[in-house]
Amino acid sequence: MSTIETVTGPVEATALGRTLCHEHLLTASEPIRVQYPHLVDHERELQRAVEQVRAAMSHGVKTIVDPACMDLNRDVRLAMRVADETGVQLVMATGIYGQHYTFIPQHFQTRDEDYLADVFVHDIEVGIQDTPVKAAFLKTAADEPGITPDVEKVHRAAARASNRTGRPIMAHSRPASRTGLDQMRIFLEEGVPAGKVMIAHTGDTDDLDYIEELLALGPFIGMDRYGTEIFLPDAARNTTLAALCERGYADRMVISQDACATIDWFPEEMIGQLAPNWHFTHIFETIIPALGELGVSDANIATMLDEVPARWLSA
């Protein structure tokens, strides 16, 4: 029986229970924290994270996977306080998002993939940010700029860290430019078993041909941005997900929101206007009932929320 590292220690994969596979306690601009700390209200951020987590728990959620990493202001101490106050099981990552999905810091630009892999392995084997909390998986990202040299370095380093530790990988993707296929090519070239990979944000497209081409390579996929209608309206996400369930892919998908209890990338009022349904309980309140009307069975929902996350994390 495999165990999964959480903020409060390792748990049996079977004990993860209902899992939101992609939500963020906090997404923030890292340099601002160091240079202009007067712009940051840590207590408010904690409060908002606790509020969102408790709301999700009221729908039976036991575990939240937070793929925060470098450039998203991953904050293990915030996660520890949230776990302590709510009792939720939080699963953390190590990895690099990339500034503008393009560049990594000079420190890593002048060093090779194996040096970067060592950094990731440290978080998996020793702990994150000088704590004993261990990363359960690796995080990478590719987006509009595609596979730049820096983006490729991060993907190869994550693949090597995965090969050394057995830990799975979650890759932020941009279906509009079919990055998932390029990301899978790198992982497979490095020898990562496809079943250890989750291609996040695949639900941002309703192009079933692309999605099936990607699934044929063997990864799990994230239907994980419900409530972000700027990328794809929920109605189109639902018909796509229902079609994939009908074709027998429920056991390869997770449902989530990629919501951030706090995100400092935009003025607060702008988020309320642009994405009023972008929060930790939108799928329970609105999406799952709508999926039911499209013929997605309760068993399919249970597979995507209760089984697939554990299967990916323990792959």
Binding site for Zn ion (CB under 5 A): 258
**Minimum CB distance to Zn ion smaller for 95 or for 113:** 95
Q: Which residue is nearest to Zn ion (CB)?
A: 258
**Minimum CB distance to Zn ion smaller for 179 or for 300:** 179
Rounded to the nearest whole angstrom, what is the least distance from the CB of residue 7 to Zn ion in the complex?
Answer: 17
Rounded to the nearest whole angstrom, what is the least distance from the CB of residue 265 to Zn ion in the complex?
Answer: 12
**Minimum CB distance to Zn ion smaller for 222 or for 244:** 222
**Minimum CB distance to Zn ion smaller for 200 or for 315:** 200
**Minimum CB distance to Zn ion smaller for 5 or for 258:** 258
Rounded to the nearest whole angstrom, what is the least distance from the CB of residue 201 to Zn ion in the complex?
Answer: 8
**Minimum CB distance to Zn ion smaller for 52 or for 300:** 52
Rounded to the nearest whole angstrom, what is the least distance from the CB of residue 200 to Zn ion in the complex?
Answer: 7
Rounded to the nearest whole angstrom, what is the least distance from the CB of residue 262 to Zn ion in the complex?
Answer: 13
Rounded to the nearest whole angstrom, what is the least distance from the CB of residue 227 to Zn ion in the complex?
Answer: 12
Q: Is residue 31 packed enough to be buried (19+ CB in 10 Å), middle (13-18) or exposed (0-12)? A: exposed
